[in-house]
Each structure stands twice: as structure tokens, then as C-alpha cells.
Amino acid sequence: MPDRNSSADPSLVLDLLVAFRRSKAMFAGVKLGVFDALETGPQSLESLQQQLNLSNAARRLLDALVGLGLLERTGDRYANSAAASAYLTSHSPHRLTGYVNFSNRLSWRLWEHLEESVQEGTHRWSQTFGDDQPIFAHFYRNENDKHEFLMGMHGFGLISSPHVVAAFDLGPFRKLVDLGGATGHLTMAACRRYPSLRGCLFDLPEATPLARELIGASEVADRIDVVDGDFFEDDLPPADLYALGRILHDWSEEKSLRLLKKIHAALPAGGALLVAEKLIQDDRGGPDWAQMQDLNMLVCTEGRERTLGEYQQLLQTAGFTQVSGQVTTAPVDAILARK
């Protein structure tokens, strides 16, 4: 009997077999300060070794980063690629280094226990770190970690939020309140696109100082307020449009439904909720970005990613009608639910 597997293409399996190595090489470049060191200009291997206190093995990492397209090499001198300068240096306004460091320090270790998460259906915080503190306690454990995590989310939001606020016509709305809006990237994107819209960022007191700084430096600062609060516990500022950007995927069905009912009750008739999350296809066949994020939510949180149909069911249970979804070209999609 012929071997049916003899002609199967192994490239997919081989690529996935080493995919984590590519991620870890990028994480190491950020942690060791490679991209920051090169932001002042090209440097030789010897210069980088001395500056960053690295061994001769540095050449192996640097060459790997060249192969990944994150560095460029001319002769014996290395330089950042455009992508590395924009997203992997600690002083870039578009940086994703906070998210990279979260992935390296926390997410990497949680994913080691994916099998147990699948078996038990629960996150791995206690197993990995020995405590059951809320997830955001780990992100906010000191001022530097908090700042870098929020800036990582800000860089992610700068990529996604302009697409989210353009997915539907938000022109008829007068006041947007972004619940748990972190640095205000979505609020600023909405106010830039809709000149008559006023905005309000509502988030925990730990997050709002940075939001005030970033919003205050923007050209739409005069139309955006920043208010401290906990959307589970406190009254919501009045609005005819609320937003939840990458919030619902953090929480259980029960907590999500409780929050959505609270938002629905606060909205006037004709008001709406804008949700920014990555949508899994209705047949659950992809996209792989959403599926991988779904597994990340499994090991990290009590939440999950959903299909549009699942969001429609959740939002309609909370009282919303006319729930529509739009897939974007960004890492986050958009859903609009009307009261």
C-alpha cells in the first residue's frame, strides 16, 4: 500500500516548529537594548558588544535579526530597519516595546502551560506566578511597568483605532465616552475624524495620568475630557456613544453581560456602543491572528475572542439591537450596537 503521507508538503509544520524562535529573537533584541543602541546610527559588532556588555555570541543574534528584516547590515556595521525604528525603540511614539516586553516576561511563560489551560478551561496565572492577583495588577506592579505596558497598548492602538472609528459613520453622535480607554488613542482618532464629536476617556486612576499627558499634547485636546473611574463600579459619564476597545475579550460572559447591560441602561434611545475586538470568522476557520489571540485570552484571562454571531447574541441579550460588524485591515475589527 502506498504511503499517503510521503507527498505531503512539510513546509507548514517546519515553519511552525521554529516560529517561536523568531519571536524570541525579537524579544531578546528589545530586552538587550539592541534597537535602542542602533537608533543613534549604525554601529559595528564590537561597538555593540562593548556598549551592551554582550559576548561574541552577539553576532549570531544580530545576524538573525538581519535575517528577520529587523536589522540591516552594510559591511560590518548594523542598523535598524524602518520597522524596528518605529516599533521596537523605547522612545518612538509608535513603539510596541511595552507589548513586546509583556509578551516576553509574562505571556511567554503563560503559554508554556497552554495544554493545562485547554484541559481545565482556566487561565494559568496561579500556576505560573504563584498568585491569583487580577491580571492588571501584574501590568501595574510598578510605575515603569505600567508606563511601558500602556505605551505598548498605545502603539497598538495607533495602528488600529483609525480603522475602527472609520468602520461606521459616527458623524451623527455628539459625545463619545471610551470606557477603559487607556491612553486615549481611540478617543483621539474619533475626534480627529469627526470634527463635531466630543470625547471623554474613562479609566482607572492608575491609567489616566498618561492619558492626560498624551491627549493634552494632541490637536484635539480641547474636545476630550479625562475622568477617573471603574466601569464596573462607578456611574458612567453621560454619552450617546460608548466605546469598549479590547475590553470584552478580557472578561467572563457574566462580567461582560453585566457591563453591557450597564452601558445599555446609560444610553439614550438611539445611542450606540462601538466595540473594538478581533472577530473570529463565523465558521471559526480563521483568521489565525484572532485564533491565536483567543488562545492568549485562555492562558492570560477569563475571557475569549468571539465571532460576530457570538457578539450579536451577547449584545442582544444586554438589550441592544441592530448589531453590525466590520472586518478591518488592522489587528482589531469593529462592531456597532444600537439601542
pLDDT tens sequence across 123-142 = 998 888 887 665 666 666 67
CATH of the domain at 210: 3.40.50.150
User: CA-CA distance, 304 to 294, in Å (whole number)?
Assistant: 5
Q: What is the pLDDT of residue 106?
A: 87
CA 39, CA 87: separation in Å to the nearest integer? 12
Whether residue 304 sits in one domain with residue 158: yes
* Same-domain status, 186 and 37: no
Contact 337, 322 (CB under 8 A): yes
Is residue 41 a part of any domain in this protein? yes
- Give the CATH number, domain containing residue 68: 1.10.10.10
Output the nine-digit C-alpha cell for 118. 485547554
Q: Does a structural domain hold residue 69? A: yes
Instruction: Answer whether residue 144 is part of any domain.
Output: yes
Check residue 14 and give its pLDDT. 95
**ω into 287 cis (within 30 of 0):** yes
Predicted local confidence at residue 150, as pLDDT: 86
Residue 129 lies in a domain: no
The reply to whether 183 and 277 lie within a common domain is: yes
Catalytic residues: 249
The pLDDT value given to residue 332: 96
Could you tell me the pLDDT band of residue 225, with boundaries at 50, 70 and 90? very high
Indicate the residue among 87, 102, 122 that finishes a domain. 87
- Provide the residue type at 337 as one letter: A
Q: Please identify, among 54, 87, 120, the residue that sits at the C-terminal boundary of a domain.
A: 87
User: pTM, whole model, 2 decimals?
Assistant: 0.91
Q: What pLDDT, on the 0 to 100 scale, is given for residue 33?
A: 98
In which domain, by residue range, is 144 found?
Answer: 136-338
Which has the closest alpha carbon to 296: 166, 145, 130, 111? 111
Q: Supply the pLDDT for residue 131.
A: 73
Average pLDDT in the 168-173 region? 98
Who contacts 281 (Cβ-Cβ below 8 Å, separation ≥6)?
Answer: 287, 290, 307
For the cut 60, the answer to whether the pLDDT of residue 1 exceeds it is: no
Q: Is the pLDDT of residue 2 over 70?
A: no
What per-residue confidence (pLDDT) applies to 296?
94
- Separation between Cα atoms, residue 17 and residue 238, nearest integer Å: 50
Distance CA 279, CA 264 (A): 22
Quick check: 310 pLDDT over 90? yes
* 221 has a pLDDT exceeding 80: yes
* pLDDT value, residue 185: 96
Same domain, 62 and 159: no
Residue range 188-206: mean pLDDT, rounded: 97
* In a domain? residue 328: yes
Count, residues in the chain: 339
Cβ(166)–Cβ(186) below 8 Å = no
What burial class does residue 9 get, using C-beta atoms within 10 Å of its C-beta: 0-12 exposed, 13-18 middle, 19+ buried? exposed
153-162, pLDDT tens digit by residue?
Answer: 898 899 999 9
Q: Which of 56, 71, 87 is the endpoint of a domain? A: 87
Taking 90 as the threshold, does the pLDDT of residue 88 lie above it?
Answer: yes
Same domain membership, residue 70 and residue 191: no
In a domain, 274, yes or no: yes
Average pLDDT rounded to a whole number, residues 69-97: 96
- Do both 77 and 167 map to the same domain? no
Residue scoring higher pLDDT (11 or 3): 11
- Asked if residue 300 and residue 214 are part of one domain, the reply reads yes
Please say if the pLDDT value at position 5 is more than 80: no
Same domain? 35 vs 162: no
List, in order, residues 6 or more apart from 230 with CB less than 8 Å away. 204
Instruction: Please indicate, yes or no, if residue 118 is contained in any of the structural domains.
Output: no
Residues 330, 239 share a domain: yes
pLDDT confidence bin for 314, thresholds 50/70/90:
very high
Task: Give pLDDT, residue 132.
Answer: 67
- 333 and 223, same domain (yes or no): yes
d(CA 107, CA 101): 9
Q: 1-15, 68-82, 184-198 — which is least confidently predicted?
A: 1-15
Percent of the chain having pLDDT more than 70? 95
* pLDDT on residue 7: 79
CA distance 177 to 181: 9
Return the pLDDT at 134.
Answer: 59
Are residues 64 and 206 located together in one domain of the fold? no
Mean pLDDT along residues 331-338: 97
Mean of pLDDT over the chain: 94
Q: Kindly report, residue by residue over 264-293, the tens digit of the pLDDT.
A: 999 999 999 999 999 999 999 999 999 999
> Same domain for 245 and 155?
yes
Question: How far is it, in rounded angstroms, from Cα 280 to Cα 288?
Answer: 9
pLDDT for the residue 139: 61
Q: How many domains does the chain have?
A: 2
